[in-house]
Each structure stands twice: as C-alpha cells, then as structure tokens.
Amino acid sequence: MKLKTLLKNKTLILSVLLSITAYHSLACKNMCVIGAGYVGLIAGSKFAQMGNNVICTDISQSKINDLNNGIKPIFEPGLQAIVKEGMHQEKLFFTTDVEHAIQTADIIIVAVGTPMGKDGSSNISALINVIETIAKNMQGYTVICIKSTVPIGTNKNVLLQLDEHCAPGALYDLVFNPEFLREGSALKDFSINPIVLGSNSQKALDIMTELYSPLIERGCPLVHTDLTTAEAFKYTWNSFRMTRIMFVNELACLCNTVGADIETLVTSMSMSEQSMPTKNLKPGPGIGGSCFPKDSRALAHTARKVGERFCILEAVIKADQLHKQKMITTIYDLMDNNVRGKKVAIWGLSFKANTDDIRDSVAIKIIKKLLGNGAIIQAYDPQAMKNMHALIPDICYCTCAEKALEDADILVIVTEWQEFTHVDLKTIKTKCVNL
C-alpha cells in the first residue's frame, strides 16, 4: 500500500491476514508515530511487523532522509533488518509531513524526547507542541497514545490541551503507554515487557489491547489502569531498578575494602528474591523485628568504620525512621492534634503478621507516644498481647478486635494479620467516633 493510498477511511476495517511475519492481526490499523528516535523507531517498526500501516514522522528532515535511504540513525541490534522489511512490505513509511500522517491515523503514538532540565525536571515542550499539532489535524475518532516518559499528572493537562485545540468534529481518547525497553535489547524487550495501558476510556483500552494482541497472546503481561497510575508506573519501574543497582554498586565498594566477594553476595541475594519476591511487597507502617533494623544499622556502621560510603543504606534507615514518624503524625492530624482522653483502638502489636515478636514493632512507638499525651489505648493482637503486656502493662488489652473498637475515636491497624484484612472498613467507620 502506497503512502498516498493510506487515507483514512473510518468505516473500513481492514481485515488483512498477514504474510510478512509469524504475527497475525485481524484488523490492521493506520498508525502515525511522532518522533523517530529509539522508542519511536522500535515501536513503529514492530507495529509494522505486526501488519499495521505505520507512518513514522520526525521533525528532523535529515533523520527522515537517512531512514528513507536505508541509513540507520541509531545502532540497535536487529533494527535495520526489521525497518528494511517493513519498508519493503510497504507497511512502514518515513516522512516529515506530520499533518498528513495525523489525518490518516486511527492510532497516533507520541515518542518525542522529554529531556531532563537543569533542576531535574522533565522538559516536555516537544510533547506540548506535538499535542497541539495532533489536536488541530486529527479527523474522526483517534486514539492518541503517549509513549514519551512524562512527569506524573502531565496527561491530565494533555487532555485539557486536546480539548482546547480539538478540530471540529474530531473525537479522541488518550492512552498513556510507558515504554520499558533497554537500548541494546530493545526489540526483544518490546516483545516481552509488560504492556501498561493507562486511560479513562474503556474503548481506547480495548483498541490498544487489540493492537498489542500478538504480543499478549505470546505471553506479555498486560496492565489496564488509569492515566496517573500508568505515569507513576514508569518512574517506579526505573527508580526501583536504579535503587537495586546502586545498592549493589555501593556494596561492591564495601566488599572491596573488607575483602568480601560481591559476586557471591549478589548470587545469594537472588536466592533471597525467591523467598521474598517483589510481588509480595506491600506498604506498611515501618520496618520492625529483631533483624532488619539491627543488621542494616550494623552494616552501615561497618561501612562508616572502614571509610566507605553506603549512602543508599543510610537513606533507607533514615527513610524508615521518617516513615514511622509519619504514621504518628497522621494519627495526630486525624485527631486534630489532641489525643488527651481519646480512645485509640490498635489492631496488631507484633512487628509483622504471624508472629508474637514485638521487637522494634511500630506499635510500641505509637502506643508510647499516645500514652504520653494522655490517650486511652484499647489494643488487640491475636498472638502478641502477652509480650506487649510485659513491656507496656498500663493499657487495655481486649479479647477480640471488635472489643477494641468499642467507643473508639480512631482505629489504627498496625499489623497485617489475616483476620484484619477481611473486615469491612465502612462498617467500622460507623463504629468509630472520629473516622
């Protein structure tokens, strides 16, 4: 199909069964990719490989000329072959005529750069320009899919911008679809990484899911969520990975100094990943128990003693302290900073569920602070009341969770015991005076 014949016919569904690859797509889409850099080129050529008609556009005339002349603007293993194949099959085109590409597209992918500003903020000026161009040129119903990495909250403003400049008669939905590829293995990553689709439109989520169906059928995990969560997903993914890498980097320096073997340590940490996989991570009130607080401090102390920096571990310890403090501040905020004479129900005293161990439990900090300021504590824990009683005898220990709630002004759930996870918080709210 020639570029000029790719005019959009909104009522026509192309049911072309593909022969160019092993992928099979029932309805190919007319797509426009704006920004033919690492992300745009990979996405554009992969979507073309899946049988869609893809026009890649870029502001750089020389980049488009190079691509049309078979000169690859970037090095990425396997990219040249897939681009060549897409062009040969007349599924992949390159042009600077962005207006025309927008007019003919059912789906527009935005993959322009969002470089870091001097203050660490993201420069989204290219995105803003592109959105205005899209709004003024789109026709019929179009799904606009942002792949550029953008700060949390950006897409809410993009929606406002689209509303403001939208061409008469044009309809659209916005999807944020963060990209997780790594340069060097980008083509493979595109085909195996999770597909995160954030939108407030089910119709757009369905269309994007259909677009990705060849990858989903091959096992790519799919996440449907809202725009803000999808934006946060991308930053979380990178920051969490970076945190782990920096942990190993700093640990390697310490190992070098004390004569421990970093490779053995990293291997053993991957074993511990099996007993505590990332999927089991749940937010809580802070870290307690007999091991984590003590051992992390001991390792940080060793690093200081031998003159090595372990900033990330020091930061984790500090973050934990501040987090526990924040739990207490939140209780006080909810009680208008006055706890004197107020009844506080506390569910859970052990440092985590399924143990009676209260060492370094956040509950101790919370109870001592509240007691010191004249609150009345009504506590319940399935296993840890005996231990807590030995440490803090002068509070009311209740025989069940329900009893602890009687006439309470506030309920604080400290430990995630199974029996607390099934309660109906709305019913509880009617029982607590202040909630």
Rounded CA Rg of the chain: 28
Q: Residue holding tokens 């020091």?
A: 314
Residue 245 CB-density burial (10 A; 0-12 exposed, 13-18 middle, 19+ buried): exposed
Using the minimum distance from each CB to ligand NAD, give the nearer residue, 61 or 427.
61
What minimum distance in Å lies between the beta carbon of 235 and ligand NAD? 10
**Among the listed residues 353, 334, 354, the one whose alpha carbon sits nearest the alpha carbon of residue 344:** 334
User: Residue 215's CB: how many other CB atoms inside 10 A?
Assistant: 19
Q: Give alpha helix (H) positions in 194-310.
A: 202-211, 213-217, 227-258, 262-275, 292-305
Which residue in the shown chain puts its C-beta closest to ligand NAD? 37
Distance between CA atoms of 349 and 332, rounded to whole angstroms?
A: 19
Task: State which residue, 58 or 409, has the beta carbon closest to ligand NAD.
Answer: 58
Query: How far apart (Å, rounded) are the C-alpha atoms in residues 215 and 190?
Result: 9
Given 32, 291, 396, 398, the catalytic residue: 291
Relative to beta strand 376-380, strand 141-146 is unpaired
Rounded to a whole number of angstroms, the minimum distance from the CB of residue 55 to ligand NAD is 12
Q: Please name every residue paired with 137 in a beta bridge, in sequence order, or none if there are none.
A: none
Residue 141 CB neighbours (<10 A): 14
- The CB-of-131 to ligand NAD minimum distance in angstroms stands at 10
- Whole-number minimum distance, CB 133 to ligand NAD, in Å? 7
**In what order do the strands lie in the sheet containing 343-347?**
396-397, 376-380, 343-347, 410-413
Give the nearer residue to ligand NAD in terms of CB position, either 83 or 367.
83
Residue 375 CB, shortest distance to ligand NAD, in Å, is: 48
Min dist CB 62 to ligand NAD, Å, is 10
Angle at 348 between CA 347 and CA 350, to 5 degrees: 165
Residue number with CB closer to ligand NAD (103 or 149): 149
CB of 63 to ligand NAD, least distance (A): 6
Closer of 39 and 48 to ligand NAD (Cβ): 39
Q: Which two tokens stand for residue 309?
A: 């920096």
The residue (of 57 and 137) whose beta carbon lies closer to ligand NAD is 57
Q: Name every residue whose Cβ is closer than 8 Å to that of residue 101 and which is 6 or more positions away in sequence.
A: 32, 34, 55, 57, 95
Beta bridge partners of 396: 378
Question: Residue 420 corresponds to which amino acid?
Answer: F
Measured from the CB atom, the residue of 36 and 227 that comes closer to ligand NAD is 36
**Alpha carbons 435 and 431: distance in angstroms, whole number:** 9
Q: Which residues bind ligand NAD (CB under 6 A)?
A: 34-40, 57-60, 63, 111-114, 126, 129-130, 147-149, 179, 181, 183
DSSP character at residue 4? G
Residue 254, sorted as left (phi over 0), alpha (psi -120 to 50) or beta, turns out to be alpha
Instruction: For residue 28, indicate whether it is catalytic.
Output: no
Q: Which residues are catalytic?
A: 291
